[in-house]
Amino acid sequence: EGGSPPRRSHASLRDLEDRCDLGGTRSARVKQSDRAPSADRPQTKTRHPEIGDRPIGAGIPSRRDNMTALSTTSLSPAGEAALETLVSCLPADLSRVAKLREVHAACSAAGVVDARSATAETSAGDDDDGAGDVARLHSLFDAAVRHGASSLVCHYVDEVCGRDDFSSPDGVEAYLRDGEMVAEWAVAATRRAEAVLASASASAASNA
């Protein structure tokens, strides 16, 4: 049922933006600010690019991230088309239940969403309380990162979760637009990655 949207956690959003700072622009600004200004150098402020430096609603750039080389999963032509559909979606559209389900269904059918993922399978009961739709969006985040389009998550944080004026009377959509939802995904994804690394490390040690 609809309800008042949960309060956004601005601390979580700031942490997520820092994690998504793939180009290191934030750390670069910190290093520059630590240096003492030169007396004979004019004091001008240089604006560095930010994650959201594009018109809101312009869609995620279709060019893949530099992470593409890290992707270990090849896609069929249908999968490539479904992935292109995903990354070309407006971030705001992915926070709308009807569009989210449509994109998730297309990506699942084309093999973009990992069938082994805990968030890939949802049940009718999950949709009653919105858990199924949260799982769908989480699985699309997983797919975007796995296939070299991690900027989708960054833009979602910036353009959806970071807007105080962008909410919904629907309780499920309100939570989909809350920074806590992305923080929940980030924590789970980090733990899965750590488990994979630990397993690989243990396997290498046993074979040594």
pLDDT of residue 44: 45
Nearest Cα neighbor of 91 from 176, 27, 25 is 176
Place of tokens 């074979």: 207
The span from the CA of 181 to the CA of 161, in Å, is 9
> pLDDT value at position 205?
85
Question: What's the rounded Cα separation, in Å, for the pair 82 and 66?
Answer: 20
Smallest CA-to-CA distance from 16 within 26, 7, 6 is with 26
Question: How much is the pLDDT for 33?
Answer: 43
Q: Are 87 and 107 in contact (CB under 8 A)?
A: no
Q: Compute the residue count for the chain.
A: 208
> CA-CA distance, 83 to 165, in Å (whole number)?
29
Alpha helices in the chain (DSSP H): 10-19, 25-34, 77-88, 91-94, 97-109, 124-128, 131-146, 151-156, 171-176, 179-207
Walk along the chain (208 residues) and give the pLDDT tens digit of each residue. Answer: 555 555 544 445 555 555 555 455 454 444 444 444 445 544 544 444 444 444 444 554 444 444 343 344 678 899 999 999 999 999 999 999 999 999 999 999 999 997 765 444 554 456 667 899 999 999 999 999 999 999 999 999 999 998 888 888 899 999 999 999 999 999 999 998 899 899 988 888 888 7
* Predicted structure pTM score: 0.64
Task: Kindly compute the dihedral angle of the four CA atoms of residues 71, 72, 74, 79, in this order, to the nearest 10 degrees.
Answer: -50
